[in-house]
Amino acid sequence: MSPNFVKYVLKMQQIMTVLALLSASLFSAGTVQAAIDCAATGKTLISQEECTALVVLYNSTHGVNWVNNKGWTMAESPCQWYGINCADGHVNQIVLNNNQLSGAIPLEVGNLVHLQKLLLKNNKLLGNIPKELGNLKNLQTLNLCNNQLAGSIPIELGNLTQLQELSICYNRLNGNIPTELGKLTSLQICNLHNNQLGGSLPTELSQLTQLKTLSLSENQLTGNIPVQFSQLTNLQVCNLSSNQLSGNIPIELGKLVNLQWLHLDNNQLSGNISPQIGELARLQRLSLSRNQLKGIIPLELGKLTYLQLLSLSGNQLSGNIPKELGNLVNLQQLALDNNELTGIIPTELGNLKNLQWLSLDGNHLTGDIPTTLSYLSDLFFLDLGHNNLTVKDQKLLDFLGNKNPNWANTQKKP
C-alpha cells in the first residue's frame, strides 16, 4: 500500500468527519427552523391570527420552561399542542393549569375569539389581566387563580356575557370590583377571594340571578352588605369573610332559600342576628364570628337541621344559649366562645351526637355542667373555661378531665 494511498484515505476520513459534523449542525438548525409556519393555514387547521396568538402566549410565558410543552411550536397544527383543543377550525379551549407558566398574559390572547375555556390557574403569571380578554365573547370559563397577577380587574370583562365561571382568586389584584360584572347574567361562579380588592360591594352583582357561588373573602371590602343581594335566589355559597364590612346583616338574606354556606366572619358587622336566618332551611355552615353583633341568639336557628357548623364566637351576644340548638343533629362544630352569654348550658346539647368541637369559653355561664355532655362520643375539642360553672357528677369529672382538663382552674368566682 503506497504512502500516497494512505494519505488519501486519512484525508477522506477527515472530510467525512467534517461533513458529518456539518450535517448534524444543519439538522439541529433545521429542527429550530422547522417551527410552525402560522401562514400555512392548510396545515395549521386554524387561522393565522389564532396560531400567532398561541405562539405569542408560548413565548410570553416562557414555554421552554413549562412542565409540559409537548408539540408546542413544532407540531404542524396547534390543535396537537398540549393543553389546546380545537373545534370547527378554531381554538376553543386552553387548559394549562399547574404548568409553570411565568411572565405576562399577552394581549394577543384576546384574538382567540372562539375560546370557551381559558384555564391558567396555579402558575406564576405576573402583570395585569389584559383588557383584551373582554373580546372573548364566547368564553364560558375563566380561571386565573393562584398566580401573581396585579392591577385592577378590567371593566371589559363585563362584555363576557356567556361567562359561567369567573375565578381570579389568590392573586394581588387591587382596586374596586367593577360594576360592569353585573352584566354577566350567565355567571354561576364568582371567585375573587384572597386579593387586595377594596371599595364597597357593587349592588349590580344582585343582577347575577344565576349565581351559585359568591366568594369575596380575604379582601379589603368596606361598606354594607347590599339588601339587593336577596335577589340572588340561586345562591348556594356566600363567603364575604375577612373584609371590613360594616352595618347590619340584612334580614332579607333570609330569602336565599338555596343557601348552604353563609360566611360573614371577621368583619365589623353590628346589630342583631335576624331570626329570618332560621328560614335558610338548607344551610350547612353559618359563620358570623369575630364581628360586633349584639342581642340574643335567635331560637329560630334551631330549625337549621342540616347545619354542620355554627360559629358565633367573638361577638357581644347576650342572653341564654337556646335549648333549640339541641335540634341540630348534624352539627359538628359549635363555637359560642368569647361573648356575654349567661344562664346554664342546656342539657339538650347532649343530643348533638355528631358534635366534634364545642367551645363555650369566655362567657358568663353558670350552674352545673350537664351530664349529657358526656354522651358526645365524637367530641375531640371542648373548652368551657372562663365561666362560672360547677360539676357534681363524678363520671362527668372524668370526662372533662380527658377533654378539658383545665376547665376548673379557669372558672371565675361567682
Mean of the per-residue pLDDT values of the chain: 92
Specify the range with the lowest mean pLDDT, choosing from 96-100, 295-299, 397-401: 397-401
Integer CA distances (angstroms), 234 to 187, 269, 346, in order:
11, 24, 35
User: Which helix (H) or strand (E) covers residue 30, if one does?
Assistant: helix 3-33
Torsion of CA 34, 37, 42, 44, to 10 degrees: 80
Extract the C-alpha cell encoding 343.
344562664
Q: State whether residue 93 is helix, strand or coil.
A: strand
Mean pLDDT over 77-105 rounds to 97
Extract the C-alpha cell encoding 159.
362584555
Contact 289, 312 (CB under 8 A): yes
Counting residues of the chain whose pLDDT is more than 70, the rounded percentage is: 91
pLDDT of residue 34: 38
pLDDT in tens, 295-315: 999 999 999 999 999 999 999
Write down the domain spans for the chain: 1-34, 39-410
- The closest of 126, 21, 91, 103 to 57, measured between CA atoms, is 103
Q: What angle do CA 89, 95, 96 make, to 5 degrees?
A: 130
Residue 363 has pLDDT above 90, yes or no: yes
pLDDT of residue 79: 95
**Class of residue 102 by CB neighbours under 10 A (exposed 0-12, middle 13-18, buried 19+):** middle
pLDDT band at 44 (very low <50, low <70, confident <90, very high): confident
Cα gap 148→372, rounded to integer Å: 51
User: Considering the entire predicted model, what is its pTM?
Assistant: 0.89
pLDDT in tens, 327-353: 999 999 999 999 999 999 999 999 999
Contact 239, 261 (CB under 8 A): yes
Phi, psi for residue 348 in degrees, rounded to 5: -65, -20
Residue 58 has pLDDT above 70, yes or no: yes
Q: What is the DSSP string of 155-198?
A: GGGGG-TT--EEE--SSEEEEEPPGGGGG-TT--EEE--SSEEE
Residue 166 has pLDDT above 90, yes or no: yes
Cα gap 290→313, rounded to integer Å: 6
Contact 96, 119 (CB under 8 A): yes
Torsion of CA 333, 334, 337, 342, to 10 degrees: -170
Extract the C-alpha cell encoding 199.
371599595
CATH architecture of 39-410: Alpha-Beta Horseshoe (3.80)
DSSP 230: G
Extract the C-alpha cell encoding 182.
353585573
pLDDT of residue 30: 30
pLDDT band at 413 (very low <50, low <70, confident <90, very high): low
pLDDT in tens, 134-143: 999 999 999 9
